[in-house]
Amino acid sequence: MIDLLNTPSDVAAFRTDLLAWYRVNKRSLEWRDSDNPYHVWISEIMLQQTRVDQMDAYFTRFIARFPALADLAVAQESDVLKVWEGLGYYARARNMHKAARLMVAQHKGRIPDSYEELIALPGIGTYTAAAVSSIAFDRDHAVLDGNVVRVLCRLLRIEEDPRRAATKTQLISASQRLLPLGQAGDFNQGMMELGARVCTPQKPDCQTCPVGDLCRAKAELDDPTLLPLKAPKKQKPHYLVAAGLIWKRDQVLIAQRPRDGMLGGLWEFPGGKREEGESLQECLRREIGEELDFEIEVGEVLCSVDHAYTHFSITLYALSARYKEGEPKAIGCADWRWVYPEELDDFAFPRSDRKVIEFVRQRGWQLALF
């Protein structure tokens, strides 16, 4: 790697140009306009797997419900998951809740201001610790997220896989070397803003880039989007899932997913993956027997929902069903309840189940009765 930023004057120019651009062009965001470390922490947890334009309304709703660290710490996990509903990656919410309680118990009810204390908390890794310590407290730690990786790979023409440990070490070193001491918060946000708005994955705006004169990809490559190197996409497995709207008189059954697994703590219409050779009706009967140990009668498919997760995708088929005999037992789930349809909004559901609820609600619950 030949580094264009190999003189103190180049580094100084990069810092000056980036900071000047950021301070004029930064987006006005609720958490950015606040000097509250709690707001910074919440926003960074939300941004771990969510784009800025998607999380704005969620952040406002979350802060309205839990305006301070103490409010979050004393809340029930079910309330936290309900407010988080729709953001996905629910382990973030569970870990955030655990971290809030630890901050109250071990840090006198405050957000720790050091990288070392932050990274010891649940749900906080190297990126989040660096982001919170620098943005909220101006500690001199450089961040390395997807936007920053893209900027650095193009700026320095790094042609190795950024997921490799050696390349990641190289990127961290470069980012830390560029960091202006005492201005880490603005610099880190400037790097992330540059990647989000100018040095974008596709169609980067190289002509208006404030640091374009120092960028090797702009100077040497016909197509800067070749960097960073992208791993070949693996085909995701796809599963067919049967879920039952199981009625007992005028109540429907919901089950809570195990708290230590995927979508832990959320509620759903019980069911599971269809096995080879099974009909959807056979699948649902088997899953209810395995997970709840009672018998049902199964009707027709009410609707289907396609949903993609990080490593796989599903088509969820919602079927009407009716309680037959036996007492449900929480064998493959954390809990279960019979609820009236109007009570469903009190519970946090995965997005696919929420779509089923909206579908049936729009057409009338009589459609789902069996």
pLDDT tens digits for range 192-212: 999 999 999 999 999 999 999
pLDDT above 70 covers what percent of the chain? 99
- Is 141 in the same domain as 169? yes
Q: What percent of the chain has pLDDT over 90?
A: 91
Q: Per the residue annotation, which of 44, 193, 268, 291 is the catalytic one? A: 44
- Name the pLDDT band for 5 (thresholds 50, 70, 90): confident
Q: What is the pLDDT of residue 214?
A: 95
> Residue 155 is part of which domain span?
8-226
* Same domain flag for 35 and 62: yes
Q: Final residue of a domain: which of 166, 196, 226?
A: 226
**Residue 367 pLDDT > 90, yes or no?**
no
Among 226, 259, 290, where does a domain finish? 226
In a domain, 275, yes or no: yes
Indicate if the pLDDT at residue 2 is higher than 50: no
Residue pair 289/244 in contact (Cβ under 8 Å)? The answer is: no
151 and 216 fall within a common domain: yes
Asked whether the beta carbons of 256 and 331 are under 8 A apart, the reply is no
Sorted by sequence, the CB contacts under 8 Å of residue 163 that are 6+ apart come out as 231
Which domain-ending residue is among 226, 247, 280?
Answer: 226
Q: Are residues 15 and 96 in the same domain?
A: yes
- The predicted-structure confidence for 297-344, as pLDDT tens digits, reads as follows 999 999 999 999 999 999 999 999 999 999 999 999 999 999 999 999
Size of the chain, expressed as the number of residues it contains: 370
Structure confidence at residue 3 (pLDDT): 56
Tell me, yes or no, whether 13 and 112 share the same domain: yes
For 318, phi then psi, to 5°, come to: -95, 125
Q: What is the CATH number of the domain that holds 150?
A: 1.10.340.30
Tell me whether residue 85 is one of the annotated catalytic residues: no
Q: Look at residue 12 and tell me if it is in a domain.
A: yes
- Asked if residue 126 and residue 260 are part of one domain, the reply reads no
CB 46 within 8 A of CB 92: yes
pLDDT at 231: 82
Could you tell me if 217 and 131 lie in one domain?
Answer: yes
